[in-house]
Amino acid sequence: MMKNIIIAFAIVFFTACSSDDAPKDYRTENDQEIQAFIATNNLNVQSSISGLYYVIDEQGTGEKPEITDRVKVAYKGYLTDGTIFDENEAGVSFSSLQGLIPGFAEGLTYFNEGGEGKLIIPAHLAYGSSKNEQIPGGSVIIFDIKLIYVNYVTENDEDIQTYLNDNDLVAQKTSSGMYYTIDTIGNGEQPTLTDNVTVTYKGYFTDGTIFDESAQNVNFNLTGLIEGFSEGMPYFNEGGNGTLLIPSHLAYGNNGTFGIPGGSVIIFDVNLISVN
């Protein structure tokens, strides 16, 4: 499978050759093979200093990934003779570009979220002179790719929209990407981002699973809370209550925390008891 193939680079590359078998440098013959492939298929390519060639069919309009970013990619991987060694039309998520073969990782950084194109990767940016499953040693490998998501911003927003529609809710969206509903605005003091507040709350996922709930009134300073919760509380006055729908970039990010998986949308029903 693709996830295993492109993550396995470090293990395969550094263990496949014995001390008696020095790796062969295929750069010259790979470049000749790539040039022939480009000419045969009449491709309009760009190249990088590393030796990677790429074609951008659609640039995309969303975020452009960095090396530590999570990506979801649909792909088809094949050799220059057209032999397909792996594909996944639905897309595979990778927690970061780190650990992927260098040509694949570098290539994705030339696209924005929603972008589509082709990566033509010489062996020194893939598996070198080592054989990897269906990929012979020294092979040029090609990927047709679609960069579906970068991190979780777009994906989380779609999840929140689905949750709102399924539950017949109308929410306000802030510039940060958080959504909130106000059931009761309250008539007391409105907190600022540096205030202490006393609240009750219930925290749960979009599937309704509860991950935390206050058994009694809880006192917080808003500066020490996740960004989405801190941002949300000043939309209420004392005595107010409602719901905060918080995407992962305003909560626990790509990595998550205990009991909350990375990339999770989290929801809080909140009651603002007092501003202290």
Q: Residue 173: which CATH number?
A: 3.10.50.40
Final residue in a domain of this structure, among 130, 150, 170:
150
- 202 with 73, same domain: the answer is no
Asked if residues 95 and 84 have their Cβ atoms less than 8 Å apart, the reply is: no
CA distances from 169 to 205, 232, 275 (A): 16, 17, 27
Whether residues 158 and 145 fall in one domain: no
CB 219 within 8 A of CB 191: no
Q: For a pLDDT cut of 90, what percent of the chain falls above it?
A: 91
**Pair 182, 265 in one domain:** yes
pLDDT greater than 70 at residue 17: no
3-state SS assignment for residue 13: helix
- Mean pLDDT for 28-44 is 98
Report how many domains make up the chain: 2
Final residue belonging to a domain, choices 131, 150, 169:
150
Together in a domain, 180 and 142 = no
Among 150, 181, 198, give the residue marking a domain's end: 150
Q: Is the pLDDT of residue 12 over 50?
A: no
Examine the pLDDT at 8 and tell me if it is beyond 80: no
Summarize the confidence of residues 14-26 as an average pLDDT. Answer: 58
- Whether 65 contacts 136, CB under 8 Å: no
Query: Which carries the bigger pLDDT value, residue 228 or residue 22?
Result: 228
**Nearest residue to 241 via CA among 271, 215, 201, 200:** 271
The whole domain housing 30 covers: 2-150
Number of other CB atoms surrounding residue 133 within 10 Å: 12
- For the cut 80, the answer to whether the pLDDT of residue 209 exceeds it is yes
Please check whether residues 160 and 58 belong to one and the same domain: no
Same domain, 65 and 131: yes
Q: What is the mean pLDDT of residues 178-189?
A: 98
Please indicate, yes or no, whether residues 197 and 228 belong to a single structural domain of this protein: yes
Distance CA 27, CA 142 (A): 15
Residue whose tokens read 């305003």: 250
Tell me, yes or no, whether 86 and 216 share the same domain. Answer: no
**Model pLDDT, residue 183:** 98
Mean pLDDT value of segment 85-108? 96
